[in-house]
Amino acid sequence: MAREVRSWLDRATAWSPVLLLGGLAALTYWLDSQVQVPVPRHDGSARHDPDLFVQGFRAVTLDAQGRPIQAIAGTLARHFGDDQTTEVTDPMLAQTEAGKPAFRVTAARGKLSGDRKEVTFTGNVRAVREAGPTTPGQSPAGPVIVTTEYLHVIPDLEIARTDKPVTIEEPRGIIHSVGLDLDNKAKTLKLRSSVRGTLQPQALPK
């Protein structure tokens, strides 16, 4: 069982965190490009009130052949002039780069820090990496589904973490934990506490 858990964690660590973090960085860049820092005024604008709204937005990035490789959308983005944060309602990020498993993350709310260095997703956070291509002698890799109520991401450091309950599902079973720390640079995934779940051996393809 220990070997199965270690193997499962190795696969979970490789569930495309680069796509997640890279996509979040792209979301940060795109929203930042839409926002012009306002000139300081003394008319009450320092209150924590939104000074910019973007409703029903969707941005698509294409590759050199004109194929979509990334889509970012939300029902509403609100920028706050006092601390330069941006809040997004129903954020959706999708990665569809050729040769890599499709990836999507959704949540009820998203928030970008004022320095554009940190991103938080809250409420029904769901990240899905679709099944990837298989090679002879290996079992199918995916899909992998991660759900939680809160996810804090630092794209530049390639770190994602949560202190809330998290569930990771893949074809062989399901793992529950309270808290998760993902360090993509160090290639490590740490489940903090109350780890439990079931993994079933999966037959190799013939």
Condensed to tens digits (0 to 9), the pLDDT of residues 69-118 reads 878 789 998 989 888 888 999 998 887 877 777 878 899 999 888 887 88
Q: What is the rounded CA–CA span in Å between residue 204 and residue 73?
A: 38
DSSP assignments along 1-17, one per residue = -HHHHHHHHHHHHTS-H
Q: Are 69 and 95 in contact (CB under 8 A)?
A: yes
Chain position carrying tokens 């202190």: 163
What is residue 19's predicted lDDT score, i.e. its pLDDT?
46
The runs of H, that is alpha helices, within the chain are 2-13, 17-34
Assign domain 2-34+49-199 one CATH number from 1.10.1040.10, 2.60.450.10, 3.30.1340.30, 2.60.40.10: 2.60.450.10
User: What are the tens digits of pLDDT across the range 167-203?
Assistant: 988 888 899 999 988 887 787 878 899 999 887 876 5
How far is the CA of 73 from the CAs of 26, 31, 115, 129, 139, in angstroms?
A: 12, 11, 21, 18, 34
